[in-house]
Amino acid sequence: MKTTIVALSVLAILSPAWGQTGYNARSMGLAGAYQGLALGPETARWNPANLGLPGHPETCVELPSLAISLGNNALSLGLYNTYFSQDYFDENEQWDAAAKDEILGAIPASGFQGFNRLQLTALGVSWKRYALSMNTFAYCDLHLPFNLFAVPLQGLGLDPVELTDVSGEAVAGTEFALSGAYPLNLGWDKVQDFSVGATVKILAGHAYARMLDTGGRLLSNEDSISIDGYYRAILAGLPADGGSTGWGYGLDLGAAARLNEEWSVGLTLSNILGSLRFNGLEEAQGSFSFHQPGLNQDEFGSFQEYLDSVTVESDTTFATDGGVTWNPPRAAVLSATWRPSPRLALEADYHQGLNTTTGGSTTPRLALGAETRYYNFLPVRFGLALGGVQGTTLAMGLGVEWGSYRLDLAAAGQRGLFNGSKGVNYALSQRLIF
């Protein structure tokens, strides 16, 4: 059991962005309305066809960048600031009944869900109509039953409590992407420039974990308590092993058109082909039983001796044949970009997920973003999005341009507005444009 807990915990920490791995500070500041504005190596994760349109920089180098997202379906920022802050516990030794009721009231009866994402861009380079990039990603989705929160906060009654429907999946890997674009002359009066592009990806799997089965029951009466539980999980690439435990591939296809000096549109099919196969699997199984039949703790020499007398725990881990395949998030993204002036760009993106997987969702998402340049060296970004894994998202970003160097920062709330948001996103990106 310790091995399983360590593996899942490390993956969850690593996964602290929605299903698309190409999340950076510029896109985050626009709430994801970014496909038509992507330049250089980042086009590999947005629309590779952008590489074939005029106005693209001849050379661009993407420097180490980080994007992180933490979200859930229950606990809002306002609730956290009210009942989980140090100020609250300075005034109250513990949660009172009203606090417990409000916390439990925020958790749906269907259970608590957590969505965590991370992307680290190590390096990316583009030259003319070609780009190469390397991105490390981690996703972790977790579901916990309502009773797992109700029992610690409300205590046990005389009715049995079932602890079922615990599920989770986590995956971590690195994506090596090669992109290219080719401009085409369509001969259409209403299309000034047209380009098609593709991104071929090699995926290296570092770690994978999935809960296969869990169960538990809590019983109590006036003078005794009984707890029984079990779990089964599969693991690959434990952190101590290092290296890669699986390989896969991915393919993106894109098209982009510049209609005139102000308007452009694009379409991307992300991961239209692709999968990541993990090998070297281990299966972890364990059980836990605690039966306290009203024994007197004073009859034992120590508390540990008392626990040993009422607790039975077992766990084992063993290698299994075969492997497991993870399908990366597939999506179709349609974008429209309007540049009414050199100091203003507006974009709308429609993102439709094509599969349900860890890191992705089939819930459609509409994102609107604006980038303004009151000072040419200081771009400011705003964005609003609805739907998808992250729900309602309000975002803001800021950039600084100094010669060839670009530094961008962004923050966003998800699944709600302001104090009602149930998650946060942060990103830092940097690049060189020549």
Greater pLDDT, 295 or 151: 151
Q: How far apart are the first and last CA of the chain?
A: 53
- Give the residue, 304 or 245, on which the prediction is more confident: 245
- Residue 9 is predicted with a pLDDT of 43
Q: Which of 158-162, 190-194, 275-279, 352-356 has the lowest mean pLDDT?
A: 158-162
pLDDT of 166 > 90? The answer is no
Mean pLDDT, rounded, for 49-74: 93
pLDDT > 70? residue 242: no
Would you say 343 and 374 are in contact if contact means Cβ atoms under 8 Å apart? yes
The Cα diameter of the chain in Å comes to 92
What was the pLDDT predicted at 202?
A: 96
What's residue 320's pLDDT? 77
Q: How far apart are CA 28 and CA 429, in angstroms?
A: 10
Mean pLDDT (whole number) for 132-157 = 87
Residues contacting residue 276 through CB under 8 Å, at least 6 positions apart: 171, 173, 203, 205, 246, 247, 248, 325, 326, 327, 328
Contact 367, 383 (CB under 8 A): yes
CB neighbour class for 414 (10 Å; exposed up to 12, middle 13-18, buried from 19)? buried
Bridge partners of residue 402, in order along the sequence: 405
C-alpha to C-alpha distance for 373 and 399, rounded to whole angstroms: 10
Which range (156-170, 208-222, 286-300, 369-383) has the least confidence? 286-300
User: When comparing pLDDT for 369 and 224, which is higher?
Assistant: 369
Helices (H), 250-404: 303-310
Place of tokens 């002036």: 341
Average pLDDT (120-127) is 94
Task: Identify the residue with better confidence: 360 or 257.
Answer: 257
Confidence of residue 304 (pLDDT cuts 50, 70, 90): low
Domain 2-73+110-433 matching CATH 3.40.50.300: the answer reads no
Q: How far apart are CA 248 and CA 243, in angstroms?
A: 15
| CA dist., res. 140 & res. 240, Å (int) | 19
Average pLDDT over residues 23-36: 94
Structure tokens at 6: 């360590």
Burial class (CB in 10 A: 0-12, 13-18, 19+), 397: buried
Please give the C-alpha separations between residue 396 and each of 166, 173, 410, 425, in angstroms, as whole numbers. 35, 28, 6, 10
Q: Residue 280: is its pLDDT beyond 90?
A: no
How many other C-beta atoms are found inside a 10 Å radius of the C-beta of residue 200? 17
pLDDT band at 247 (very low <50, low <70, confident <90, very high): very high
Least reliable range by pLDDT among 24-38, 163-177, 335-349:
163-177
Q: Can you say how many angstroms the Cα of residue 90 is from the centroid of all Cα atoms in its chain?
A: 34
Mean pLDDT across 75-88: 88
pTM equals 0.84
Q: Which residues pair with 410 in a beta bridge?
A: 397, 427
Ordered by start, the domain boundaries in the chain are 2-73+110-433, 77-107
- pLDDT, residue 7, reads 45
Q: Tell me the per-residue pLDDT of 318-355, one tens digit each, with 9 for 90 and over.
A: 777 778 899 988 999 999 999 999 999 999 999 999 99
- Which pLDDT score, from 0 to 100, does residue 62 have? 95
